[in-house]
């Protein structure tokens, strides 16, 4: 009987520790929610205006004859968007290239997801950005603002013909940038491809009206 109080104390200590752990977890969750709510706040606020601006920019300009899609490595995002646009706009030349690497295939998960959407990327190989790959492009689509600046500083093209893909998306999705799914989960690939589908739909709608 003399041991019962000790047992009660131990249980009380465990309960206290559990309560503290839960409180810490709750605090972390609250901080995470606050971070998610304020992350990329300027881009979130500006998205509606940017979306209208890019639609107006493309609509008022001449219909492009050659579209160049650019991402970092030219193996995930840009090959997919290239294929989507080429299927929807067969009368235009749509190519892609990247800032890094060359002659690399699309990763297996991207092949699988693209195939489910009716696109065959099995024969695709990445290309680097060079004067020859850029030459003749009169509309360039990049995946984020950093790439837009890098491309504009390296190649002589009207800055008004460089479009950030995320601005074409009718809705804001976490950030202005299109998430790079390389080496990430299937869900991240699907989310990036879904967003690129929405971006493509906006551009295709504009260019089809310009025929």
| Tokens found for residue 187 | 């869900």
Catalytic residue among 43, 138, 173, 180: 180
77 a catalytic residue? yes
* Cα–Cα distance measured from residue 116 to residue 94, given in angstroms and rounded to the nearest whole number: 21
Catalytic residue among 71, 76, 167, 169: 71
Sheet containing 162-164, strands listed edge to edge, beginning at the edge strand earlier in sequence? 93-98, 66-71, 139-142, 162-164
* Cα–Cα distance measured from residue 163 to residue 138, given in angstroms and rounded to the nearest whole number: 11
* Cα–Cα distance measured from residue 98 to residue 150, given in angstroms and rounded to the nearest whole number: 11
Catalytic residue among 76, 77, 127, 161: 77
* Cα–Cα distance measured from residue 104 to residue 205, given in angstroms and rounded to the nearest whole number: 31
180 a catalytic residue? yes
Phi-psi region of 150 (alpha: psi -120 to 50; beta: other; left: phi over 0): alpha
Supply the residues annotated as catalytic.
71, 77, 180
């Amino acid at each position: 009987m003399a041991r019962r109080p000790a047992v009660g104390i131990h249980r009380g200590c465990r309960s206290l520790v559990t309560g503290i752990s839960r409180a810490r977890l709750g605090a972390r969750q609250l901080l995470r929610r606050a971070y998610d709510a304020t992350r990329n706040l300027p881009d979130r606020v500006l998205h509606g205006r940017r979306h209208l601006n890019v639609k107006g920019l493309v609509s008022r300009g001449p219909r492009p004859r050659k579209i160049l899609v650019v991402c970092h490595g030219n193996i995930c995002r840009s090959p997919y968007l290239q294929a989507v646009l080429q299927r929807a706009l067969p009368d235009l030349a749509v190519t892609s290239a990247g800032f890094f690497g060359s002659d690399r295939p699309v990763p297996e998960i991207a092949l699988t997801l693209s195939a489910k959407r009716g696109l065959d990327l099995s024969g695709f190989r990445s290309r680097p950005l060079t004067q020859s790959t850029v030459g003749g492009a009169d509309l360039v689509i990049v995946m984020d603002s950093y790439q837009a600046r890098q491309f504009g500083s390296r190649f002589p093209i009207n800055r008004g013909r460089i479009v950030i893909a995320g601005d074409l998306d009718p809705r804001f999705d976490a950030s202005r940038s299109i998430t790079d799914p390389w080496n990430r989960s299937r869900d991240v690939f699907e989310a990036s491809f879904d967003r690129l589908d929405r971006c493509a739909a906006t551009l295709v709608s504009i260019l089809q009206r310009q025929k």
